[in-house]
């Protein structure tokens, strides 16, 4: 079902980055509002039926130099989100490119003998996924394994339906001297794609909170028992097989190796992902700060992520010093699940679950004692598909698509000017004209 959207007049702001259009691997194409497209032969506009994104090969942001820690969230992005700082915008889009590369590198074809693996070797992944000039070197492929115990009858089902372990992303480290100079430090990136396999979808549905390992729990089922996270996300992060390690083990071993190699340099760890990948990015950041006492600044840049854990989990993230920036589309239902949010401290209940906030306190306490009460983490950059005149209508799939998020980030200015109308419209529309 498509929704009819009433659009406010976009703001006119000088452009900063180009836009192009690329295909989408997971979700439905975005429907573009043709009244914003110049008169051209129809055949020249066939490429416009795909979701939108910025041109990753466009001009790079200026040198971050001493400002890099602020861009990475050392001050929780105070004064950088509204209006959106252009340097921060560039970095958000750049990390979005890394997530996009994870999608493009994944083999989605169930009939392929290499289904659910990475299509490209480490040496050429960036180039073959459309990112030839990142300045980064890919150092590790990552796999996630579902911990769901399958019934015996599934042995007769097609293999692709119950693929237990699949390629989920990668680790990369900046190595180009010019890029390291521009960034002001050496940066390690961990990038995760979103849900792709059947078992990953099933893990997403395991939405009750579960206790994190190695934490004390005296009062089972409440925030007082310590950090709790969504059962399915934790399963994908910590489960392994007799033939292969868990995602957690792979991340820890690779980060340990990189810290030993580059520990005497100025270093940052940036974990980024979309959808399920955003949830895994948050878990991985928490785990890295837990496992390595002297780890550098760890930052999460998440796109369209669901809720991950309870209030205690958020408090532990903050105490660790982990910085989380959530990019949220108000029209994306995935960012509103799972569970409920009851959190008077940050007024999040009023934003996410107004019905819960209006309940009597004794009922709220009962709900809090269940395994369904989540808490939002970090800082939020809130966008809306409704603000884009290029999206004539939208549905659940397009509102959640990573390309939609990159499009909205590129055009967002501030809460008073949520969409700039003339920000490189030429690049947005013309780069795929045949």
Is residue 54 annotated as a catalytic residue, yes or no?
no
Q: Active site residue: 105, 235, 275, 385, which one? A: 275
What one-character DSSP code corresponds to residue 157? S
**CB 287, CB 248: distance < 8 Å:** yes
Is residue 222 annotated as a catalytic residue, yes or no?
no
Q: Which residues contact 155 (CB under 8 A, 6 or more apart)?
A: none
Q: Active site residue: 18, 400, 407, 410, which one? A: 400
Residue 121: cis peptide before it, omega within 30 degrees of 0: no
Q: How far is CA 41 from CA 109, 131, 200, 389, 434, in A?
A: 33, 30, 42, 21, 10
Characterize 364-402 residue by residue with b for buried, 16 or more Cβ atoms within 10 angstroms of its Cβ, and e for exposed.
Answer: beeebeebebbbbbbebbbbbbbbbbbbbebbeebbbbb
Q: Active site residue: 18, 55, 187, 332, which one? A: 332
Q: Which residues contact 251 (CB under 8 A, 6 or more apart)?
A: 142, 171, 190, 284, 287, 288
Is residue 332 annotated as a catalytic residue, yes or no?
yes
DSSP string, 119-153: SS-TTTHHHHTT-TT--EEEEEEEEEE--PPPPGG
Alpha-carbon gap, residue 352 to 276, rounded angstroms: 19
Helix, strand and coil percent figures for the chain, each rounded to 5: 40, 20, 45
Residues annotated as catalytic are 275, 332, 400
């Amino acid at each position: 079902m498509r929704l009819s959207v009433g659009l406010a007049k976009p703001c006119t702001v000088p452009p900063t980055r180009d836009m192009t259009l690329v295909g989408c691997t997971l979700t439905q194409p975005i429907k573009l509002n043709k009244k914003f497209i110049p008169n051209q032969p129809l055949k020249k506009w066939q490429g416009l039926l795909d979701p939108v994104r910025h041109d990753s090969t466009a001009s790079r942001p200026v040198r971050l130099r001493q400002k890099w820690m602020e861009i990475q969230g050392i001050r929780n992005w105070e004064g950088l989100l509204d209006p959106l700082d252009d340097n921060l915008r560039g970095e958000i889009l750049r990390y979005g490119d890394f997530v996009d590369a994870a999608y493009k590198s994944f083999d989605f074809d169930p009939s392929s003998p290499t289904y659910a693996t990475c299509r490209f070797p480490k040496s050429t992944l960036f180039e073959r996924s459309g990112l030839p000039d990142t300045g980064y070197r890919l150092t590790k492929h990552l796999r996630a394994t579902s911990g769901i115990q399958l019934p015996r009858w599934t042995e007769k089902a097609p293999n692709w339906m119950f693929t237990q372990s699949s390629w989920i992303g990668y680790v990369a480290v900046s190595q180009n001297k010019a890029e390291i100079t521009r960034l002001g430090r050496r940066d390690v990136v961990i990038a995760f794609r979103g849900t792709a396999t059947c078992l990953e979808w099933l893990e997403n549905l395991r939405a009750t909170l579960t206790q994190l390992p190695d934490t004390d729990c005296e009062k089972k089922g409440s925030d007082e028992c310590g950090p709790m996270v969504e059962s399915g996300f934790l399963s994908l992060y910590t489960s392994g097989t007799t033939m292969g390690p868990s995602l957690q083990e792979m991340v820890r071993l690779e980060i340990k190796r990189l810290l030993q190699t580059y520990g005497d340099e100025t270093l940052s760890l940036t974990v980024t992902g979309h959808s399920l990948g955003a949830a895994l990015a948050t878990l991985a950041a928490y785990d890295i700060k837990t496992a390595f006492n002297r780890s550098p600044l760890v930052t999460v840049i998440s796109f369209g992520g669901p809720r991950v854990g309870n209030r205690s989990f958020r408090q532990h993230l903050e105490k660790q010093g982990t910085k989380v920036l959530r990019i949220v589309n108000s029209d994306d239902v995935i960012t509103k699940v799972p569970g409920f949010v009851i959190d008077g401290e940050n007024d999040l209940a009023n934003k996410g679950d107004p019905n819960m906030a209006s309940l009597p306190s004794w009922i709220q306490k009962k709900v809090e004692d269940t395994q369904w009460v989540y808490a939002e983490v970090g800082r939020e950059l809130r966008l809306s598909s409704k603000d884009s005149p290029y999206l004539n209508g939208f549905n659940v799939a397009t509102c959640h698509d990573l390309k939609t998020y990159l499009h909205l980030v590129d055009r967002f200015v501030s809460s008073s000017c949520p969409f700039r109308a003339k920000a490189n419209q030429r690049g947005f529309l013309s780069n795929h004209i045949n």
